[in-house]
Amino acid sequence: MAPIGVFDSGYGGLTVLKEIMSVIPDQDYLYLGDNARAPYGTRSFDIVYRFTLDAVKYLFDQGCRLVVLACNTASAKALRNIQMLDLPKIDPQRRVLGVIRPTVEKLPQLTRNGHIGVLGTPGTIQSQSYDLEIQKFFPQYTVTGHGCPMWVPLVENREADTPGADYFVEQEIRRLMRKDPEIDTIILGCTHYPLLIDKIRQYVPEGVRIVPQGEIVAESLKDYLGRHPGLTQATPLGGPALDGHLGGPALDGHHADAQHQVTYLTTESADRFGDMASLFLGKPVKARRVEL
Ligand code: DGL
C-alpha cells in the first residue's frame, strides 16, 4: 500500500490525522511536520508556497500518491498553485488535497442564516481563502474572518487551560462577534483551535455553532478514497513500483498496530516532536528527523 501523506507546518495537523485515522483506520500514514520552519501562520504567500511544495515533493519521494495538507495556512496559500502549476509537471496521477474545501462544503448542513465566522491564523484570514471558497459555492452567505495571532502560541506553550487563554479567547470571540453579531456558525480554521474548544465554547454566544474541521476532513477523505482507490495502491496500473517507505528497514518513527502503520517525520528535533505530539494526539510518539 502507498501511505497517505499528511502534512502540516508542525504539530497542529496531528489533530486532523487523529480524526482521519479514526475514520479510515485501515490505511498507512506518513505524517510530516515542518517544525524547523514553523509557524507558517505569519509567513508570506511565496514562502508558504515554497515550503509546502518542498514537503509535498518529499512525501511523494517517500511513496505517497496522495498528500493531505492538514494545515489551513498551507491550504490557503499553497494548495491552488501546487494543484494548478506543479502537479501536472510532477505527476498528474498524484493528488494534493486541503482542509478548506471539505469544511466549506459542509456549511449548508450547519448554518441556518448563512452568517459564517472564520477564525484562523493571520495568514489564513488575510489570504481570504475561506471567503473566496464560500462565495464560490454559496454566494448568498456572509463571511466574516478574524485572525487570532495568540492562539497557536498559547496551545504550543501549554497555556490552553490557563486564565491567560481565557483572556485571549474571550477577546477574539468578542471582536469576531462585533464584526457580525448575526454569525450563527464559526469555523475553527486552524488545526490548533480544537485544543481551545472548551474555552471557545464558554465565550461564544448561545446557539452559535462551533465547527472543528478534523472529522469533516476525515469523512470527506474517506469519500474521496472510495472514488479514487488507486491513490493508496503502491504500484499504479501498468506503472513502475514506487519507492515506498515500507519497503526498507524498520525506521524510527514508525508505529505499527493491528490496523495500520503510521510514521512520524519532523524537520526539527525528533524528541521534542514525540513529546509535543501527546498534546495533540493524546499519546507520545516516536518521530524521526528529516531534511527537506
Ligand atoms: N497548522 C497551522 C494552520 O492550521 C497553524 C500553525 C502555523 O501557524 O504554522 O493554520
What's the pLDDT score for residue 233? 87
As annotated, the active-site residues are 71, 190
Report in angstroms the alpha-carbon separations of 254 from 5, 36, 262, 288.
14, 20, 6, 8
pLDDT recorded at residue 260: 80
pTM of the predicted structure, to 2 decimals: 0.90
Expressed in angstroms and rounded, the spacing between residue 26 Cα and the centre of ligand 1 is 27
Q: What confidence tens digit (pLDDT) does each residue in 24-67 have? A: 999 999 999 999 999 998 899 999 999 999 999 999 999 999 99
Per-residue model confidence (pLDDT) at position 33 = 98
User: What is the average pLDDT value for the chain, to the nearest integer?
Assistant: 92
Residue 152 Cα to ligand 1 midpoint, Å, equals: 7
Contacts of 132 (CB under 8 A, 6+ apart): none
Cβ-Cβ contacts under 8 Å for 68 (sequence gap 6 or more): 4, 5, 6, 7, 16, 20, 96, 97, 98, 99, 217, 221
- For ligand 1, atom 2: residue with the closest CA: 71
* Low-confidence residues of the chain: pLDDT under 50: 237-251
The label of the residue with cell 472514488 reads: 227
Residue 39, preceding peptide bond in cis (omega within 30° of 0): yes
Q: What is the pLDDT of residues 142-152, one digit of tens each?
A: 999 999 999 99
Query: What is the predicted pLDDT for the residue at 160?
Result: 95
Mutate to test the pocket of ligand 1, among 37, 191, 213 (most ligand atoms within 8 A of CB): 191
* pLDDT value, residue 74: 95
